Amino acid sequence: MYKNSEGYSDPTAGAALGQIMKEYRKQRRETWRRENEIKSRPKVYVVSKYAGDVEQNVRFAIRCCQYTISQGKMPVASHLLYPQMLNDNDPSEREIGTMFGLALLDICDEVWVFGKEHSAGMKREITEAKRLGKNIKYFDSEVI
């Protein structure tokens, strides 16, 4: 029973506060459900070209990731991440970035390959995905 500041029972205020708390808990449950749904989306390793026309290929990779999100998945695109902190022109740093990417590929649920032309890096990722028994889907660039 809710009591007012003077210690007297106040069922009207108690009922109002009870309703407010009920609505608050319902809103929190919905927020937690939505957040959990987003966080538990299947992870998709995105394979697309990086080398060559890097600027154009990065724009394409971003579109690939946006497409992946629109399909209810969580994209993982290591080629958009590691070149930001490692020098892609330094063979030892490129190898580190490649290994980091393959480690991410290992924890993904699926691998999606975008584009008709496959670079050496893409072929390496596809080979690793096959070795790991990952579900691989191929997409033409026109799909996105």
- 122-128: list long-range contacts, CB under 8 Å, 24+ apart: 122/47, 122/48, 122/49, 124/98, 125/45, 125/47, 125/101, 126/47, 128/102
Tokens 């394409």: give the residue.
60
Nearest CA among 76, 80, 74, 78 for reference residue 100: 78
- Specify whether 84 is located in the same domain as 64: yes
- Specify whether 27 is located in the same domain as 60: no
pLDDT band for position 4 (cuts 50, 70, 90): confident
- Specify whether 31 is located in the same domain as 45: no
- Specify whether 16 is located in the same domain as 63: no
pLDDT tens readout for residues 97-117: 999 999 999 999 999 999 999
Q: Dig out the tokens for 68 from the structure.
A: 């992946």
Instruction: Return the CATH number at 119.
Output: 3.40.50.450
Q: How many domains does the chain have?
A: 2
Task: Tell me what pLDDT residue 9 has.
Answer: 86
Range of the domain at 114: 41-143
- Specify whether 76 is located in the same domain as 25: no
Task: Tell me what pLDDT residue 80 has.
Answer: 97
